Structure 1
């Protein structure tokens, strides 16, 4: 039987009540049901018993129970279902097709916007009809402000029992909310975004492409991590402080991945060192994404944080970061490289700085944050690990310090590692290979052999630098060295003194640039330009004193010059005339001076331009 004034719903079998209330925007089913019971002068439990409604099922957002409430009140089932959280299991609920952690909506405090409540109470009708409504977004523990009125949500009651807490009509009747003044508060972009999402409206920020629960959690965790030094624990933060932290994080994340990575870098270098580890530098953001928030919904954020750590942190190979194991180390710091190689930290930094891997000590940052590519420096670090000091080299090669200094002056036995603030270091394999290159084909001789003498001793006696003796062997001017029986290393290296004397005398015929210029009568710069431009033959050989490769003029080279060119000096000698007379003759005959690509070489003449002049002079000379 249908009572007059009621309308039966064919799907639920329920009929709309005559005494009803209007469903307000954003109101969940439990709030509407509580007001409906009050409108019919019943306690909510009694009303549910009379109407055959399961109150617990309504609180859980059961679709059939919510539909019953909609039919009894005359509300739209679709709209009421959209504004009522529907529990999926013990941990998850759904609102506007967004899966949300139930804990976010299950706080014991009932917080409300007093301005919204005042508007509800100002509506026309009796006292029951005017009972305020709960808005579903107020249930979310990360909602702090009503964006519509710019008011801080005020806690009106605290109740651990869900049935009593959400029997809102009874609680409003008990609470003295009409005499409480709401606190005005600045509405942040975060507040507008969160309220819109909880009403089912999708925004256009970078965060809107991700799962809602994951996005809000990351905003919360990032905000708390940014304030970790001020508020180490969540319990230390008051509502306004937490709201400010989340708002700051939202402003950052809404600008996209690049902004997210930038703030991660700031957090990373805001104090401490890599020794702290990512968990300490990124606080609860890293801890929760590492241990608890590991579902696919959080993977985009975990991937960004993980990639940032892999790209900017000296993570060791085999170490797991946010569920992924790094197969091979990408970065080293001075500290981690020092630990792996065993090279003291300050020494290694100086070695790395000298080779451009890091900045020198006193520049850049401290050693723990001086990072460099581990793969690029792999071979360098392997050599650095076995580098030895001068003292070790003296023992290894059986040399004295003065002998090492002498060879270094001749550009031999150059340290493998040297630079500012770094004592010379040698790769022992390279040092040994240097000496072995002279000893490998050496014949063994006994002490007292008159033809052979130690290199250092022969150099001292004959005034030939030991570096020059070694260079003679490399150039082939000495056929071989020998090895002294019973000795090792550099002290065993013997040179044939007769061969050395002969080789030394052969170098006396070489002309350097200055001597060559004087020999042909040109200024030194002009002679050097002629040689370096390749217009006259020259020979490159090592400077006996400095060991540097230089251009010299051999007798053969000098003959080549005379075949191509002549100068006033050489023509004067050749013709037996004063150079002034030769100069006058060349001017009269208009013989051009040599110039190539704009380069001037002074009083230099090509033989082919002198052919007619020399022939005329020869014919006019008396027999």
Structure 2
């Protein structure tokens, strides 16, 4: 049919057919379609048979017509240019237009037609603002036809009505989501996460996330206006354009914004319409990758038991625990759980017991509670590993044994105890090497006895064992636990650097044995016998309080006690009158071996007595 009527810029095929019918035949589009035997529904749907038929009438290639229209790909799938989407992405039976564009078309009167032209972009759901005039599109709230016939009456409105609409319109720019959709339909690349899926799935996820962030998770979506959905697209795109990280950020906004009455509810109570949209689908239409991100976020924030169905898939393991879920799992009073989590730092001080959003990492929490169940109080450690109370205290203070909860305050009771597994492991590590024996070898001593003899910390000897730095180690039966490990005090002394030479008697112990002051022992170490030999000898040194101190040779001490007597040890000594015995000895010509004023005590030769 001639003359040829070209399409306007971005004009849809439906609009082009409407203008063609008016221009060529002066008839309505429905009459024109009936004349050329083309069912309205075929044009409405975009069936493949429409394009060659119209091509013959229009005198243009079918592909040129197809570029102006959506087309049916399969039952529910449609396409436009290089994109494929579900039919819900289209608003074919809900008249949509820009009042400024239609007014401009009518006033221009191209080809003698005072009719408006519909733009192809108007038929896509996220497009709600005219990119040329920056005004909201007018879109019917409900469908004006049942899909069997096409309504184009909105393209021939009263110009006065259009002007009135424009006067009340606000000025706004297209949302980020709309710009993304328009550019993608033109073949441009956008954010990677959005481009990785069907355009309609990315768009719907963006709008749903934005609506729940902006208007609340439990907002009535049916009451949202086109302006509200435009705002939802703008807000949602701020998150979805940043991919998974951005989406989780958006979900975090919803999670932290407590809805009335939802503190004790689960995923549906917190995420509301967003959760319902993903969980309770009425069709087999997919949600897209957003569903997986939402599921992972829920698993990372809320306590869900294994086996729970979440967004179509069973939960394999619990990732987060609340106090209630831990109390139920381990049959422990919630208050005990709360104290343990708080003291360990896993739970914030401002925790609200009834708020299910207050959760802790499941693995850490379960490890803690299981340790708490196995806890051995500090006062029971001696009986558990067969050591002294002092040894138990020192092992804890040195960090060789760690409390179940390393709290900074004055924690008491089970919280300050030690995991029985740690106690068993300590004994096992102490016994990790060594020679099994039935009875102690010559000179061998238990860890506690060796520490006492060397005046060395028990924990230092235990550390040598744990670090495998001792060569001579004997192992008694394991039933003796802490006392089952024997060490060589001489080797320990050398490895710790606490002693040189031979093992001897400390000056303080020598003083106790002789019943004298420490200074007396120091004098005797310098004194000589009648033969000019030292009276007491040193055999080595040991470290005490960071200072190397002399050790008295045990043999020389025994010799001294054999050949010398202190005044108080001589028969006839009377405490109330020591001078009487001293005078009797002097009368017999028996004098002290050394000047008492210098020695600090009175010693006599046993041979003189």
TM-score, normalised relative to structure 2:
0.61
Task: Indicate which of 156, 163, 186 corresponds to 1:173.
Answer: 156
SS in 1 for 2:96: strand
1:342 maps to which residue? Answer: 331
Q: Does the Cα contact within 8 Å between 1:219 and 1:249 map onto a contact in 2?
A: yes
Cα deviations by residue, 1:183-239 (Å, 9 ceiling, x for unpaired): 222333222222233x44233223122211110110111112213438710133222
Q: Deviations over 1:541-568 (max 9, x none)?
A: xxxxxxxxxxx99559979xxxxxxx99
Match of 2:497 in 1: 534
> Residues 122-521 of structure 1: matches in 2 within 5 Å?
122-123=107-108, 125-128=110-113, 130-155=114-139, 160-161=144-145, 166-168=150-152, 170-173=153-156, 175-176=158-159, 177-182=161-166, 183=169, 184-197=171-184, 199-206=185-192, 207-229=194-216, 232-271=219-258, 275-292=264-281, 298-356=287-345, 358-359=346-347, 361-362=349-350, 368-382=356-370, 384=372, 424-425=413-414
Question: Relative to structure 2, which stretch is displaced further, 106-115 or 150-159?
Answer: 150-159
SS at match of 1:151: coil
> Cα distance, 1:31 vs. partner?
1.8
Correspondence 1:574 to 2:560: no
Distance of 1:352 and 1:553 partners within structure 2: 52
* Aligned equivalent of 1:38: 22
Residue of structure 1 in register with 2:87 after alignment: 102
Deviations for 1:386-445, whole angstroms, at most 9, x for unmatched residues?
88999xx99xxxxxxxxxxx9899859x997796597624999979x99xxxxxxxxxxx
Question: Are residues 421 and 214 of structure 1, via their aligned partners in 2, closer, same or farther at CA, if it must alter by over 3 Å?
Answer: farther
Measured after TM superposition, the shift of residue 20 of structure 1 is: 4.5
Note the alpha carbon deviations across 1:493-547, whole angstroms, 9 max, x for none: xxxxxxxxxxxxxx9x99899xxxxxxxxxxxxxxxx9996242699xxxxxxxx
- Tell me if the contact between 1:109 and 1:158 (Cα under 8 Å) persists in the aligned partners: yes
Matched pairs, number: 452
Equivalent residues of 1:537, 1:553 under 8 A apart: no
**CA distance, structure 1, for counterparts of residue 372 and residue 506 of structure 2:** 47
Contact 2:212–2:273, Cα closer than 8 Å, also in 1: yes
User: In the aligned structure 2, how far is the partner of 1:55 from the partner of 1:126?
Assistant: 25
Checking the alignment, whether the CA contact within 8 Å between 2:197 and 2:288 is kept in structure 1 is no
SS at match of 1:276: coil
Q: Distance in 2 between matches of 1:363 and 1:70?
A: 70
Q: Any idea what SS the aligned residue of 1:152 has?
A: coil
**Deviation digits for residues 49-89 of structure 1 (CA, Å, limit 9, x no counterpart):** 32233332122212222332233233442132122122345
Deviation at 1:151, TM superposition (A): 1.5
Task: Return the alpha-carbon distance in structure 2 between the equivalents of residues 193 and 418 of structure 1.
Answer: 53
Kept after mapping to 1: 8 A contact 2:177/2:234: yes
Does structure 1 retain, via aligned residues, the 8 Å contact 2:263–2:354?
no
Deviations 1:321-377 (A, max 9, x none): 222222222332222101222222222121233345x13644799874443343344
Tell whether the 8 Å contact from 1:334 to 1:367 is kept in structure 2 after alignment: no
Following the alignment from structure 1 to structure 2, what is the Cα–Cα distance between the partners of residues 374 and 153?
A: 50
Take 2:357 and 2:233, find their aligned partners in 1: how far apart are those partners? 29
Pick closer, same or farther for the CA change 1:574–1:54 going to 2, 3 Å.
closer
Matches within 5 A, 1:41-56: 41-56=26-41
- Deviation per CA, 1:306-334: give whole Å up to 9, x if none: 22222332221111222222222233222
Tell me, yes or no, if the aligned pair for 1:510 and 1:555 is still in contact at 8 Å.
no
Corresponding residue SS for 2:79: strand
Structure 2, unpaired ranges of 5+: 381-387, 397-402, 425-445, 458-492, 511-517, 529-540, 554-609
- Indicate if the aligned counterparts of 2:371 and 2:419 stay in contact, CA closer than 8 A: no
Structure 1 residues 167-186: Cα deviation after superposition (integer angstroms, max 9, x where no partner): 42x44335455544432223
Alpha carbons 2:177, 2:203 under 8 Å: kept: no
Secondary structure of the residue that 1:99 maps to in structure 2?
Answer: strand
For the Cα contact (< 8 Å) 2:214–2:232, is it kept in 1?
A: yes
State the secondary structure of the residue aligned to 1:69: helix
The CA distance in 2 between the partners of 1:64 and 1:371, in whole Å, is 59
Whole-angstrom distance in 1 between the partners of 2:499 and 2:375: 46
Match of 1:62 in 2: 47
Pair 1:57–1:370, CA change in 2 (3 A): closer
State the Cα distance separating 1:152 from its structure 2 match: 0.9
Aligned CA-pair RMSD: 5.0
**Residue 535 of structure 2 corresponds to which residue in structure 1?**
none
Distance 1:512 1:109 in 2: 91
Query: In 2, distance between residues paired with 1:157 and 1:423?
Result: 67
Do the aligned residues in 2 keep the contact of 1:224 with 1:245 (CA within 8 Å)?
A: yes
SS of 2:57's equivalent in the other structure is helix
Structure 1 length-normalised TM = 0.60
How far residue 570 of structure 1 moved from its aligned partner, in angstroms, is 6.2
Note the C-alpha offset of 1:133. 1.2
User: Structure 2 CA distance, aligned partners of 1:278 and 1:157?
Assistant: 31
CA distance in 2, matches of 1:201, 1:79: 17
Tell me how far 1:385 sits from its aligned partner: 5.4
Q: Which residue of 2 aligns with 1:525?
A: none
What are the ranges of 5 or more consecutive residues in structure 1 without an aligned counterpart? 1-16, 395-405, 435-472, 478-506, 514-529, 540-551, 560-566, 578-593, 608-623
Mapped contact 1:417–1:424 kept (Cα < 8 A): no
